[in-house]
Chain A
């Protein structure tokens, strides 16, 4: 199979997100923190993950106080900030990556860096450098109107989230959603979990009843087995802490071991 980016090179970013969920298998969505351990390594990781078959890659913008994050990604944010990563350096990185890679890219950040940079300016920069989607976990449905117009003007999807506590809110969240829906697998923050909740499958069933929109499950998914479990109920699987743990362990030498875990997970999806 040709890597997707050959097929859609040069197309508008809106299509990049659509393509994520129309492949032959469920989407594989790795998350890494930009700038951990350095922006150079992040660039190699993105290209490697794209070549391995990742359908969408999430880049975390490091934040001093990531309240939705468990210890693994908190530590990654600290390493990245200590290495001097800032917003403009991440945007420049994305521009470089877009030179030879058309895999869909999402930024994961918190409300404050976006607000401080200027919501309009941030959204425009995302659109200009080829970011397809933005995930801001501390902007729930109730506050999303402050952010949504700037992103849609720049053809960047502001991703809506649903969580195990969302019952009763699914319809209104789904109606405003754009691109895909991020389903939080279980209560709590990001991090490796040995057990996943089965509540989430009910939630996805409910979601699909109100709107036919792709949904990707994240938080706690760390083994190829869990990846295939989640793929059975969702359109895509997001893996973060498990990869970030490898980056923490191997530092500059992390590209190969990250590729190995990604390969195993993609194989689990192909099976």
Chain B
């Protein structure tokens, strides 16, 4: 693969100061993958610390209620720290230590990636600093405190829109300041090569498990896979093991915010254009001058104007579909899954649940749908109450 290209997408569009670091990362990663001591250490952490494999739950009530496809939930919400982010973070922080780095930095939107990074850094004995937009710090106050409890320093980011994209900007700037001893733990399948590939590899455990678990339960492949897409790591993690199985439909659900016809949206695949930003060529929400657009979603984790390059490629070749899901649809799905299955999903994951509610009734009862529950909703409970106009104190 040429500089980590996915079709025309991907690449390594970073300042020269960082270029040697990402080349070093690539060669260290390739070495680590062939090093049994590394892969065994990671497998142990995933099993004994993160709690893998995560369950595949048959959603009997939802299946009966919607009256179409059989619905399974991939329970990344049950992982330690409450989301799929831990899969990638354990890999990258272990890799950082393998490279002799003593410090990790990371951006975070919803705070899930920041919490996961702080957790892994605490476990593996690295110094940890997290960059988070002040908008998101307000939306996800509990996660900010969680990161501090775990020993991380949290830097508020006030520039730009003070959300995820700005947190990425600031983490990149910090990386150029202190690149020698520091690894940037990127939180999704985005950024310059090799990040999209490394993060996909670490997340692909999700789809591998689904394939085996479904084989065991039903003896067959799924018909439809659904996942929410911010940068796209939980979605690629689910899709990757199935990309060669062309009969399996892959559907990514992106955040439409208040609607794709409004200015308040983060639906990159629906609204974006090809561009070069945050180290990669991909689709981005931007104006005709190439200025990155301010985006909006109720979900801090999907509130990002770009998407990982492999998704851009899967869209270009027609292998995956991407659909926009609005705030209010996601909130309804958040409540729906809580009541029907007794599972409170992350508001990000609720975007996938929302689309499942539309699609499942149109499928046949012998068809199988798997929804990636990328995270649990504890972090969102207070914000959902506020959204509903209820006053609660956390």
Chain A residues with CB under 8 Å of chain B are 63-65, 67-68, 70-71, 74, 81, 86-87, 111-117, 137-143, 161-166, 168-169, 173, 184, 187-189
Chain B residues with CB under 8 Å of chain A are 3, 11-21, 159-160, 165-166, 169, 172-173, 176-180, 273-279, 281, 284, 286, 288-292
Looking at chain B's contact residues, the main secondary structure is: mixed
Chain B residue numbers with a CB within 8 Å of A64 are: 160, 291-292
Chain B residue numbers with a CB within 8 Å of A140 are: 12-16, 19
Q: Is the CB of B11 within 8 A of A143?
A: yes
Q: Is the CB of B277 within 8 A of A162?
A: no
Q: Is the CB of B16 within 8 A of A65?
A: no
Q: A113 contacts which of B3, B20, B289 (Cβ < 8 Å)?
A: B289
- On whether A138 and B17 interact (CB within 8 A), knowing A112-B284, A188-B177, A189-B173, the answer reads no
Query: Taking the nearest CB of chain B, how far is it from the CB of A23, in angstroms?
Result: 27
Query: Taking the nearest CB of chain A, how far is it from the CB of B342, in angstroms?
Result: 42
- On whether A68 and B15 interact (CB within 8 A), knowing A115-B276, A165-B21, A187-B176, the answer reads yes
Q: Is the CB of A114 within 8 A of B290?
A: yes
Expressed in whole angstroms, the Cα–Cα distance for A67 and B280 within the complex equals 13
Q: Is the CB of B20 within 8 A of A115?
A: no
Chain B residue numbers with a CB within 8 Å of A184 are: 15-17
Q: Is the CB of A116 within 8 A of B17?
A: no
- On whether A162 and B16 interact (CB within 8 A), knowing A65-B292, A143-B3, the answer reads yes
Expressed in whole angstroms, the Cα–Cα distance for A67 and B278 within the complex equals 8
- On whether A168 and B276 interact (CB within 8 A), knowing A64-B160, A114-B290, A142-B3, the answer reads no
- On whether A187 and B179 interact (CB within 8 A), knowing A112-B286, A138-B279, the answer reads yes
Q: Is the CB of A163 within 8 A of B17?
A: yes
Expressed in whole angstroms, the Cα–Cα distance for A40 and B107 within the complex equals 38
CB nearest to A112 among chain B residues: B290
- On whether A187 and B275 interact (CB within 8 A), knowing A68-B15, A113-B291, the answer reads no
- On whether A65 and B14 interact (CB within 8 A), knowing A169-B20, A188-B177, the answer reads no
Expressed in whole angstroms, the Cα–Cα distance for A117 and B274 within the complex equals 11
Query: Taking the nearest CB of chain A, how far is it from the CB of B229, in angstroms?
Result: 21
Q: Is the CB of B276 within 8 A of A112?
A: yes
Q: Which of A115, A116, A141 has the most CB of B within 10 A?
A: A116
Q: Is the CB of A113 within 8 A of B290?
A: yes
Query: Taking the nearest CB of chain B, how far is it from the CB of A30, in angstroms?
Result: 21
Chain B residue numbers with a CB within 8 Å of A162 are: 16
Chain B residue numbers with a CB within 8 Å of A116 are: 273, 275, 286, 288-290
Expressed in whole angstroms, the Cα–Cα distance for A139 and B15 within the complex equals 7
**Which 5 pairs from chain A and chain B are nearest by CB?**
A116-B290, A113-B290, A188-B177, A163-B17, A111-B276
CB nearest to A116 among chain B residues: B290
Q: Is the CB of A117 within 8 A of B16?
A: no
Expressed in whole angstroms, the Cα–Cα distance for A139 and B284 within the complex equals 18
Chain B residue numbers with a CB within 8 Å of A173 are: 16
Q: B19 contacts which of A74, A117, A142, A189 (Cβ < 8 Å)?
A: A142
